[in-house]
A and B are shown apart, each in its own frame.
Chain A
């Protein structure tokens, strides 16, 4: 069965420090991978996506993620965190029903706190 694991429930980093949020997936075919961010009381905003091709993908707000098939991972990184990055981050895999659109399967999320 498809699944997404985010091992870290809560991470605290200092402003200006680098960030890496971990994501592991289980999916039988070529995965379509996403990172979303959710601020309190808000919906989810797409940070970046991986469909195919270059395994290092760039997103909005200075985020990037690297797809590693051998490790079934899609970790999110940012070289220098800003206080406004404090939010909850969700990794998701898109289900592909034989070429047709399918739903997203989300991890449980990682809450990021930023220390001044």
Chain B
């Protein structure tokens, strides 16, 4: 069975600082991996996806994630946080039932 674990339920960063959200996966075969973002009172939106074409994946809004098979990780980063990045972020593995518990990002002015 495929699953993901997100490390850290809350991350607080200063505007302009690095954002790092951690996700580890468990899968017997190379998975497809996703990061979704959920803004307050909105549905989830796809941020980026890994489908084995390239280990470094670039997404929307300046986010990127690196697939590391040796570490079974798919961490999400953004070099410089913006106030508009305040949201909840979910890591997911392909298949209908495999979302992480989410990480809430707050951005301090």
Is chain B found bound to chain A in the same assembly? no
